[in-house]
Amino acid sequence: MKVSILDWSTLSENGSSTDAIQNTVWLAREADYLGYERLWLSEHHNMSILQGSSPEVLLAAVGAKTDRIRLGSGGVMLPNHSAYKVAENFRVLEALFPGRIDCGIGRASGGDAYSTAFLNPPENIDFSDQVTQLERFFHDDYERAIAMPKVLNAPPLWLLSAGSHPDSGRLAAERGMGLAIALFINPSATRAAVESYRRNFKPSPEFPEPRVLIALNVVVGDTPEKLSELKKASDYFRLMRDSGNYPKAVPSPETLERVTFSNAQNTYLAQIAKREVTGLVHEVVAQINDRADSYDADEVMLTMMTFDIEDKIRAYHQIADRIVS
């Protein structure tokens, strides 16, 4: 089974934006060396804790520091952008790193309504029509508007989905796209969306067969003590996120020591436990395999939030030693 990584370029307490971005580059180099299949970067706006606002730019920096790992967006929030410009950006990346680029697209905004209004999305166009435009620009179907540079291959398109409905993968199936289900966002996603996608899939040049990826949050520690520390940071972020009160940065272990979760918060965390896999490394690897089987997934993408980048790097090393081929 293929295993990949999603990174958000998180800002740590008392850290800098330069640290957050450079940590992503460092992580990419390690993932490349360790044999992970792909690294995707997210698009978020006006959120201090998530510094990754422009995956296309950061992918260029990451590509220059890596050799073989596939690189992509997880994802470009297409309603924020002109499909023509997205096609140009990803064709530049494809020209720089031939055969290594993925274009993951989502329909969310990646930020609040005020900030995303400044991104100048096209007027009166729905998501499906934008996907059509992007596909046509990737395949030179508009004779009078060619997305430059011209490249030999179109970056594969992946549809990001929360998997909240059996019909969630319909568009990906109809267009011959890969399907990426974000379990770290929606732990209630069922296998029904995957089954519908596979059943209705229509092959495309980039995807002759259906391809399913599930994305999970991962929390793995060397010791029970370290695991507890990392788990609290992950839980804190999720509680704040779901209350609409994103923290400004990933808090330090010392800061989190002063935080106590209420009974209601602990109950809620138990209800959404399927968003992640948690444990010592052998436990996490077993859970990753079980989760892939339960969703009939071809690939699992892992994401992890830590205060210290070295904890994240260590975790991905440990997982790679046992599961990455």
Which CATH number covers residue 241? 3.20.20.30
In total, how many domains does the chain have?
1
Q: How many whole angstroms separate alpha carbon 5 and alpha carbon 36?
A: 7
What pLDDT sits at residue 124? 73
Cβ neighbours of residue 126 closer than 8 Å, sequence gap 6 or more: none
Residue 219 bridge partners (DSSP): 278
Closest C-alpha to 76, from 94, 63, 57 = 57
Position 37 scores a pLDDT of 97
In the prediction, which pLDDT does 325 show? 60
Q: What is the pLDDT of residue 109?
A: 60
Per-position pLDDT tens, the chain of length 325? 899 999 999 999 999 999 999 999 999 999 999 999 999 999 998 899 999 999 999 999 999 999 999 999 998 988 888 899 999 999 999 999 999 999 999 887 666 766 565 566 666 778 898 899 899 999 999 888 888 899 999 999 999 998 888 788 899 999 999 999 999 999 888 899 999 999 999 999 999 999 999 999 999 999 999 999 999 999 999 999 999 898 999 999 999 999 999 999 999 999 999 999 999 999 999 999 999 999 999 999 999 999 999 999 999 999 999 987 6
- pTM, two decimal places: 0.93
Question: Can you tell me the distance from the alpha carbon of 106 to that of 131, in angstroms, rounded to the nearest whole number?
Answer: 10
Residue 120: helix, strand or coil by DSSP? Answer: coil
The range of the structural domain enclosing residue 10 comes to 2-323
The amino acid that residue 194 corresponds to is V
Q: Check: CB of residue 89 under 8 Å from CB of residue 103.
A: no
Secondary structure of 163-197 as H, E, C letters: CCCHHHHHHHHHHCCEEEEECCCCCCCCCHHHHHH
